[in-house]
Structure 1
């Protein structure tokens, strides 16, 4: 049975590596505009952000799930070229879930603790993610076959 922490509310709970919540689920798609239209029409999601991330080789969109912006998001990722990681994922696996991302308090701290625990991270230092966030990834072979993204949101001004 899971250990309970009666003095912590769900909103206050942060894991020992600084995980706060599921940030988003990343889905690889061949055509971003078609995918946005599909998720809006079928599931009623709202597109709240789009951008091109040349460093990651993607055009991406964040779709809000539910009524509050603090809830989880669905991230749609379309390749910019046939050489991008997402293009290779699509060639290998077809469209579908590509990653699960967690919001962390500090991506540097979370990365260091995970390395101490024997996890391989894809980047030596965090990179720029969506909307100015800082990100890193845990290698899927070390995370039960799941590509785990760590997201430190951009500072709120």
Structure 2
């Protein structure tokens, strides 16, 4: 199921300001940057060793990340585990009655992704991701 920590998600008010810190201060490379409309965020992935940091700026205060920022302020938002088979893992979690946010994988900046509900993982928002270069759609 889990191969490694793919990334740690950090919610920020301003992606540009956060990039000034993580990219310009620490010298981290921006691997990808995109607007993910269905998640309501502008996101950037910065490489750090074999993992990444994902910076998330909400497109609106009503988005999930916008609501998170209003409640908790900037900071750690989620942890993402890389898996070779997000579809199969999601099905296995359903069979174990794990509480989920997503009932099927969807496209995200990290590849094909799904989220587990924090109630299922002791208060931590967990994301599973299969990078697009590894993803094979179910037949």
Q: TM-score by structure 1 length?
A: 0.81
Distance 1:155 1:46, change over 3 A: closer
Higher strand share: 2
- Which of 145, 152, 155 pairs up with 2:123? 145
Which contiguous aligned blocks of 4+ residues in structure 1 show a shift greater than 6 angstroms?
none
- Which of 59, 62, 68 pairs up with 1:83? 62
Determine if the alignment matches structure 1 residue 25 to structure 2 residue 3: no
Structure 1: stretches of 5+ with no match in the other structure: 1-17
Distance apart, 1:108 and its partner CA? 1.1
Partner of 1:116: 95
Distance apart, 1:56 and its partner CA? 0.4
Distance apart, 1:118 and its partner CA? 2.5
Q: Secondary structure at the match of 2:124?
A: coil
CA RMSD of the aligned region, Å? 1.2
Q: Secondary structure at the match of 1:81?
A: coil
**Pairs aligned (count):** 134
- Deviations along 1:90-112, one digit per CA (max 9) or x if unpaired, are 00010001000011111111111
Partner of 2:29: 46
Distance (whole Å) between structure 2 residues aligned to residue 118 and residue 64 of structure 1: 34
Q: Secondary structure at the match of 2:115?
A: strand
